[in-house]
Structures are given as structure tokens and as C-alpha cells.
Amino acid sequence: MASSVVLIALLVSVTYEVTKAEVTVSTEGKKQTVRTHANTVGDLLTSLDIDVQSHDQLSHSKEDEIESGMEIDYQPAKVITLTMDNQSTKYYTVQDTVQQFFNDENIDVTKRDQLSIDQDATIEDGMNIDVKKAFRVSLNDGGKKEKVWTTVNTVDEFLTEQEIELSKHDKLKQKESAKLSKDKSRVTIIRVEKVTDIVEEPIDYAVVKRKDDSVDKGKEKLVQDGEEGVVNKHYTVTMENGKEVDRELVKEEMMKESQDKIVAVGTKEIQQQVSRSNRTNTNTNTNANTNTNATKPKKESSNQGNQGQSLYMSATAYTADCAGCSGVTTTGIDLKANPNAKVIAVDPSVIPLGSKVWVEGYGYAIAGDTGGAISGNKIDLHFSSKSKAKSFGRKNVKVKIISK
């Protein structure tokens, strides 16, 4: 009896084992064969202590009935933190590599972008991936403009990345610490160069007039020709992007002294001879007295006229329209009220104030003003505007004193 019971139990056990379904379960690339009496895929995975989450990938529905020979593929999702443009997002993925993850999530990553992990790397749970998206920077280097791709954060890092060096005079429009982004992506460099420029300029000669008693009054005699001098002016010129923006005089080098023009002004008085006509009538007869009558000398009138004295002078120009100028001359002429008045500034020891004069290229004028720089053979001509005065510049002119 006992042996019959043992035999029945053995048969039941064998029958139970034979009726088990044989199933292959793959997890993360590892396969195992399982014999089970589980009714559904979900029951089988539970019996294997596999907790399927919503982000996991399962080849069958958990409600599918178990069949012998079934192959069940289960891929648990891995958590990835992706940081892009300083914004972090958590993802769940069952992909094997970083590139597969980007493709699966439609994340656009180019070769210009900077990744903290290579795209061929295998995905691991808890992985952090940092992506710096490339953006274009508008670079203006000394006037040369171009668009440059970069992923750096500051101007200083950009200059280092692009191997751009600045000299001690160069100017950077942005601060080196300034942030760069796709919204603020401009770097401007002003290339500054200091050069020396030597300019040769002429020096006007002076006209010196000397009284000479060996020359007739009213006449002039050239004693010595004037000759211009030469001075070299040394300038430090500042160039920005190849254009001059500043010029500073640092030294003057005299190359040749000017030579004065010397004119002798006659002071010798001209002696005039007075003609006298003497006539004597003598009548002689033997019976009368002798009478002698001499005519008295006639007084000659001399009318030589007013011939004006002529001088050769260095002329400059000025205008009353300047800051701080009263506009009233030394003799009281209001030039602002009479902008077209012909007035010249003189050295009173050469041309008396109030004289009427004629100036070559200027016309008739009144010697009605003086000036600190106006001495000797210099005069200053009044013009109604700065532009006219500037246009006149400096000239050597003939001046005739009409009346004093």
C-alpha cells in the first residue's frame, strides 16, 4: 500500500515537471531558459523578481499567456541627465550608446558642439551628459569681419581659442570677462599702431626795412633777398585700423634758418633849385642920367602831390566771430555790428592808427586795430567769417599808405 502511494506521488511530480513551459528570458543582453507553470508574462517576470516600470522595454504584454518556446526580451530603462545650454533634463532610455540615445530622442548634436562624453560611449545608468551647443560669433578684427563658430563662454576664452593676440595699444570693445551666447555674440578689436611721421615745412622769411640816408626819400632799395628756412617736424601718429586718428608734435628739428629780406627805405631829402631870371636894362645918352632896373625874383610854387608810402608786409587774417572776442577794435570800430568793414591791425610805430591804406588783394581799409603778435612788418586783415579768414592764410603783400 505504501509503495503504491509513493509511486502515485512520483508520477504526479513527473507529470508536473513535464507540463512546465520552457521560456527564454533576455535581460540586458543576458539570456536564461526558464521552465514555468506561470500563466502570463507578468506572472513569470514577477516570479523572477523583475519589476517592470513604465519606461522599461518589454517584448510582450504582461497579460500575454505563457507558451512553451516563447522568447521574452526585457530591457530596463537607464536614467540619463542631459545638460544643454545650462538647462538640465532627465531622460529614461533603453538605448545602448549615446548616439543612439540622441537619435531616439531627436536631439540635434553637430560636430561643432562640445560633448562631455563621446557619442560612441555605452549608456550607463545615472550618466550625466553635458552638451555645449556651438554658436556663431561676429568677429571684427581690425576691420576684417567674419563669422566664427565657438562653444566658449567668455570673450577672453574666445580670443584664446582663436589664438588672437592683442598688442599693448590695441583696444577691445567688449570686456574680456564679458559673456558670450547666441544672443550676445560680437567681438570687436581695434588695432592701434603708433608711427613716427617727419614733415618738412618751410619757414617764412621776415621783411626788414631800414632807413637809409643815401637813398632818396620815397624810394626803396633791395639790400638782401629773403630766403625761406626749413624745419622738420616730428609727429607721433596714432593709427586705428589703418586710419589716422591723432597726431602729436613731439620734436622740431631746424634744418635751415630763414634769411630776412632787407629793404633800404630812403630818407635823403631832395634839394630843389629855384630859377631866378635877372634882367638889366641900361640906357646911355650924353645928356641923361643912367637908370638900371633889375627885375625881382619870382616865387615858384611847388606842387608834388600826396604820394603814399609803399611797404611790403607779412599779412595774416582774423575774424571778430570768436569765443571771448568783444568785436570792438582799438580805435572803437564795432566789427560784429559791421562784419564787412575793411579794417587791418597794425604796429602803430610802422603804420599810424587811423591811416587809410590800400592792401594788395584786400583793397582799401582803415588801420584801426592792434594785436599782441602784430609788430614790425606784420599786419592782420579782418574778414567777416572764419572760413574767409582761413582761406586767406598767410601772404606777403604790398601795402600803400594813402593818408595818415
All structural domains of the chain with their residue ranges = 19-75, 78-132, 135-190, 195-268, 309-403
Mean residue pLDDT across the chain: 83
User: DSSP letter string over 162-201?
Assistant: TT----SS-EESS-TT-B--SSS-EEEEE-EEEEEEEEEE
Percent of the chain surpassing pLDDT 70: 85
CB atoms within 10 A of CB 333: 17
Would you state the pLDDT for residue 277? Answer: 35
Which band of pLDDT confidence, cut at 50, 70 and 90, is reported for residue 17? Answer: low
Same CATH fold, 195-268 and 135-190? no
Q: Say which CATH topology domain 78-132 has.
A: Ubiquitin-like (UB roll) (3.10.20)
Residues 6+ positions from 268 with CB-CB distance below 8 Å? 212, 213, 214, 215, 216, 217
Query: Does the structure show a pLDDT above 60 at 13?
Result: no
Class of domain 195-268: mainly beta
* Confidence (pTM): 0.48
CATH level 2 (architecture), domain 19-75: Roll (3.10)
Bridge partners for 135 per DSSP: 150
Query: How does pLDDT run across 103-149, given as a tens digit for each residue?
Result: 988 999 988 898 989 999 999 989 999 999 999 999 999 999 999 99
Percent of the chain surpassing pLDDT 90: 48
What letter represents residue 390's amino acid?
K
Would you state the pLDDT for residue 4? Answer: 53
User: Pick the residue with more confidence: 55 or 16?
Assistant: 55
How many Å apart are CA 347 and CA 366, to the nearest integer? 13
Give whole-number Cα distances, 223 to 219, 261, 389, in Å.
Answer: 13, 8, 32
Grid-cell match 579782418, residue found = 382
Helix (H, G, I), strand (E, B) or coil at 214: strand
Which band of pLDDT confidence, cut at 50, 70 and 90, is reported for residue 347? Answer: very high
User: Pick the residue with more confidence: 325 or 194?
Assistant: 194
CATH level 2 (architecture), domain 135-190: Roll (3.10)
Would you state the pLDDT for residue 324? Answer: 62
Query: How does pLDDT run across 210-231, given as a tens digit for each residue?
Result: 888 888 888 898 989 989 999 9
User: Which CATH number applies to 309-403: 3.40.640.10, 1.10.150.80, 3.40.50.300, 2.40.40.10?
Assistant: 2.40.40.10
Query: How does pLDDT run across 239-286, given as a tens digit for each residue?
Result: 999 999 999 999 989 899 889 899 999 888 765 433 333 333 333 333
Grid-cell match 574680456, residue found = 176
User: Pick the residue with more confidence: 29 or 293?
Assistant: 29
How many Å apart are CA 179 and CA 184, to the nearest integer? 8
